[in-house]
Structure 1
């Protein structure tokens, strides 16, 4: 969309682009008389203006009634320039259609980040996957950015930019005709194998290899195609997990799971995870889900975080809290999501809380004992920067769990030490989190995983009633590090975990009095650190091979276990 000329100046008459560009205006203004004199003796030529967001130059707009200053302003407009061809060129043999929007569910999608499959509920809606903004003609914080940075100043972006991942195709393409036929009738499905083998090569408790795997069957139903019920869909997911994780026996770590696939599956052939309905309403401005689901499907998660073993499907400090039902643990609940402006989103929910060990199969709903209500709310600022539409996700979240948990200082404390521990009280739990990531280059398409990200986050829980009170992480996730391997991805992340001071004080009391801290704890616990690195290889359609390296400093959150180095391999196969 072409911006009107008056946008070249703000209300105070100042130019809306960086001070570093003012010299362009000065040079352009002084060059006008000379340009007019030469124009009579030389044939017309196309003028070019240096671009601040890409190498080379871009063509200036025709000078029909425009001053050079106005031409420069328009050529520094990230929206008008559009992405560079190299940045959005799709890799060969990609499963993504030219529209940029894959068929759902896609193997590349983390199972806790499934995009809606229902229609938007309005045939005139701008988006078919993402929600339309409530204030469709306004931006939020992005409106404060210069025009040469903000790629969303005048209009919203099309759906492909909101697709979280490019997917990796299917291992059995012979099923594609069946997939298309079912999709035409409102049914989409995916069947995925995920296997992880990790071994301790140095330090820890003992050397050796451990293997775990997960089989996932996911089916989504578009009720508009099936029964003419506009805007409705139903999501189901069943999974099976087996194996023995490396963290406890070989590393001596009981808080942080060093493999993504672990526990909570009930050792059953078919563990029920998802069974919930979704409704898009108010002309595609509001999305509601309700039923049985995991909280980490939508809160405090992202495909970037879930490309790492340790932080999938959410940061560890949140996964340890019973109220934050972590995949594959599901609970009854509901969530509402909306986009107030083109660059912001708000979601809030209410979920039943029960112990993580309750209903291990996922089917025995009557065996769950509700202890309270989890009330999360999350605000996201999602800017798209420069002409290449580099997405960022800056998330602030808060959750309140009404369940009253015991004081950590008193857990396992002998009666003889209760006086020394002082006053103890139960309390509900509050959780705060900030998660930020920013794409710094685009390569391989228009979707949100086609490029490289820098990322960081911080989580804080009520220290009084939690084991891990603080977590901080930072890292990178870069696609196409090897130019000929555009869909491969390199990831490196550092994480720090701090044990609640109340838990540490209780352990110190027992330790100094000569009492045992249990078989899993060798001394009062303080903190630990983990470095994880991977290189994900898009080996062939439907197959992802990911070599892994992890180094844990202070396993067990003490200095009594040697730092552990682990290597391993993760394989994901999508039918």
Structure 2
């Protein structure tokens, strides 16, 4: 879908927002560009109908590095969602329904591809899964036993339910759930396969969440983008489990998560062929592994506070462990600091600094070493690392502007690629 079509979809969704509300939880008309629309939004909110309409754009250039410097790329994303409180509407205790549609547009190539930087993750996270409109959520939610038990059934992606992480950065390695960025059997937003997720809240601080998520590559195709039912081609299931702790340490909020996942789909081996010999030297078809596992952790803790508010310094981090036999990046880590409200009168602005590390699988590197020993010209891969700094400006309650500077060392895990400096601007507009 080209840029003009993307704006056309955004316009249609904007007309829809004129008829409905646009948020869940608490309603505040000041948070929306179009306000309360004469009281329509607040009335519908009170009846249990809330809609979300957002437009996000990201644009950037490689200041240095890549085969072609000063390339430019642009991507946008329009999100239209409906949250329906069935308890308010029909007196169905603890029941709700959620639907969300996403249109991704912009240029056909992301910045990394246009500039040929070789980096492992994109500088513009909005890219991915095609320039088209997709169903990104369509599920029923039921709360039971005084809201301790929560059950979700329907269409939803891994990243909306597991390893959910703050998404303040345009760099993909610092935005949202990371396991899906490395593993082909895990689908992140905006892909929404069929799934069942169960969450049990032991108390105010501890929860355990598990689920079963369909693994079907047909959902990635253009033809299935608005299919509400089921696409043929299901290969298996991903089974994640997550233990979460949400304490207040020194009266400051924190989020800690530890997760594990297993699937019965597996994937192609990076080193062995079907005869048990090295692919790099002997060729042939890759050995097929029938399952894979992975794990992750997440930390997000406020460290200081101004008068007990959200303003202050926070530490956040996320790490993944992926199956080295099948996954190019077998482990990753990001660590960052952010300060909300650093400057007087800018209480909702956020200044951040992060460092990230990506490790290329030793199995893949072993194959490359064999090629080098046999006189073949290949680039031996090892580690990629980088630093990102950003400043999120809350221009109005409904508009954020976010400049970001990214440095990537050893792009692709090899010194054969020049280090990259990229400048990015992101904007978030809530209608």
Structure 1 match to 2:235 = 371
Counterparts of 1:241-390 in structure 2, within 5 Å, are 241-244=104-107, 245-253=110-118, 255-264=120-129, 266-268=130-132, 270-302=133-165, 304-307=166-169, 309-311=171-173, 313-355=175-217, 358-360=220-222, 361-364=224-227, 366-386=230-250, 389-390=251-252
Q: Relative to structure 1, is the Cα distance of residues 206 and 320 closer, same or farther in structure 2, using a 3 angstrom cutoff?
A: same
Looking at structure 2, the residues matched to 505 and 572 of structure 1 have their Cα atoms a distance apart, in angstroms, of: 43
1:47 counterpart residue number: none
Does the 8 Å CA contact 1:255/1:320 hold for their aligned counterparts?
no
Map of 1:49-64 to 2, 5 A cutoff?
none
The alpha carbon displacement at 1:490 in A equals: 0.8
Distance 1:486 1:418, change over 3 A: same
Question: Are 2:271 and 1:400 equivalent residues in the alignment?
Answer: no
**CA gap 1:378/1:168 in 2 versus in 1, 3 angstroms:** farther
1:60-459 aligned at under 5 Å gives the runs: 106=23, 169-175=31-37, 177-207=39-69, 208-244=71-107, 245-253=110-118, 255-264=120-129, 266-268=130-132, 270-302=133-165, 304-307=166-169, 309-311=171-173, 313-355=175-217, 358-360=220-222, 361-364=224-227, 366-386=230-250, 389-410=251-272, 417-418=281-282, 426-443=289-306, 450-459=311-320
Give unpaired runs (5+ residues) of structure 1.
1-103, 107-116, 118-128, 130-159, 161-165, 517-521
Verify the 8 A CA contact 1:427 1:465 in the aligned structure 2. no
CA positional deviation for 1:526: 1.4
3-state SS, counterpart of residue 502 of structure 1: helix
1:444 and 1:359 mapped to 2: Cα distance? 51
Shift of 1:415: 7.1
1:327 deviation in Å?
A: 0.6
Q: Which residue of 2 aligns with 1:551?
A: 407
CA distance, structure 2, for counterparts of residue 322 and residue 294 of structure 1: 13
User: How many residues of Structure 1 are paired with residues of Structure 2 in the alignment?
Assistant: 404
Report the equivalent of 2:350.
489
Q: Quote the Cα distance in structure 1 between the aligned partners of 2:365 and 2:80.
A: 42
For residues 303-331 of structure 1, the C-alpha deviation after alignment (integer angstroms, 9 at most, x for no partner) is: x3454532355354542212221111111
Q: 1:223 to 1:356 in 2, by over 3 A?
A: same
1:287 and 1:338 in contact (8 A); partners too: yes
Check whether the contact 1:497–1:529 (CA below 8 A) recurs between aligned residues: yes
CA gap 1:218/1:450 in 2 versus in 1, 3 angstroms: farther
| CA distance, structure 2, for counterparts of residue 305 and residue 188 of structure 1 | 22
CA spacing shift, 1:289–1:384, aligned 2, 3 Å: same
Distance 1:468 1:314 in 2: 17
Contact conserved, 1:479 with 1:490, CA < 8 A, in 2? yes
Aligned CA distance change for structure 1 residues 288 and 504 (closer, same or farther; 3 Å): same
Q: CA RMSD in A?
A: 3.0
Structure 2 unaligned spans of 5+: 1-20
Provide the rounded CA distance (Å) in 1 between the counterparts of 2:178 and 2:198.
25
Q: Report the secondary structure of 1:409's partner residue.
A: strand
Structure 1 position 217, deviation (Å): 0.6
Q: Is the 8 A contact 2:51 2:82 kept in 1?
A: yes
**Are the counterparts in 1 of residues 118 and 412 from structure 2 also a CA contact under 8 Å?**
yes
Cα distance between partner residues in 2 of 1:492 and 1:176: 42
Distance 1:539 1:402 in 2: 47
| Aligned residue among 474, 480, 485 for 2:335 | 474
Tell which structure's C-alpha radius of gyration is larger: 1
- TM normalised by structure 2 equals 0.85
Partners of 1:168 and 1:442 in 2: how far apart? 25
Q: Secondary structure at the match of 1:464?
A: coil
Deviation at 1:460, TM superposition (A): 0.7
Deviations 1:3-59 (A, max 9, x none): xxxxxxxxxxxxxxxxxxxxxxxxxxxxxxxxxxxxxxxxxxxxxxxxxxxxxxxxx
Deviations 1:339-389 (A, max 9, x none): 213221111111111238733453245444222111111111211123xx3
